[in-house]
Amino acid sequence: MSTPTPADLGASGSALWEELTDFVVFDVHETALLLEACRVRDRLDALNAVVCAEGVTVSSPQGVKAHPALVEARAQGVALSRLLASLRIPDENDARPQRRGRARGSYGLPAA
């Protein structure tokens, strides 16, 4: 059962939300990450529209440089990939990728 799609999402954000919530049940904190990922997806669409309309470069007193929307799209793409990775979405075998970022070795949890 899919979680209702937030009303403030655009087409791409809504599609991402629906696809993921159709087969994964997210915890509350994961739902917040998913919502932000969907918003980032919509921002990428808006930035792409600007780049398509204005081109990938702009002229400045220093010469030709990358369009600021293109630069921001790169940053938003990195944010999207990190948000999606943090959700640890299950693969086709219903296995979630291993958690990362936790201390290992002698810094791990004490033995019981």
- The residue-averaged pLDDT of 6-35 equals 95
In-domain check, residue 108: no
14 vs 96: CA distance, rounded Å? 23
At residue 92, the pLDDT reads 72
Please report how many Cα atoms fall inside a 13 Å half-sphere around the Cα of residue 98, on the Cβ side: 3
In-domain check, residue 94: no
**Mean per-residue pLDDT over the chain, rounded:** 87
- The residue-averaged pLDDT of 22-47 equals 95
Number of folded domains that form the chain: 1
What confidence tens digit (pLDDT) does each residue in 2-13 have?
689 999 999 999
pTM over 0.85: no
Q: CB–CB of 83/40 below 8 Å? A: yes
At residue 29, the pLDDT reads 93
In-domain check, residue 98: no
104 vs 101: CA distance, rounded Å? 9
Q: CB–CB of 34/26 below 8 Å? A: yes
Percent of the residues in the chain that have a pLDDT greater than 90, as a whole number: 72
- The residue-averaged pLDDT of 88-109 equals 60
82 vs 91: CA distance, rounded Å? 17
Range of the domain at 63: 11-89
44 vs 76: CA distance, rounded Å? 7
In-domain check, residue 45: yes
In-domain check, residue 56: yes
- The residue-averaged pLDDT of 79-86 equals 96
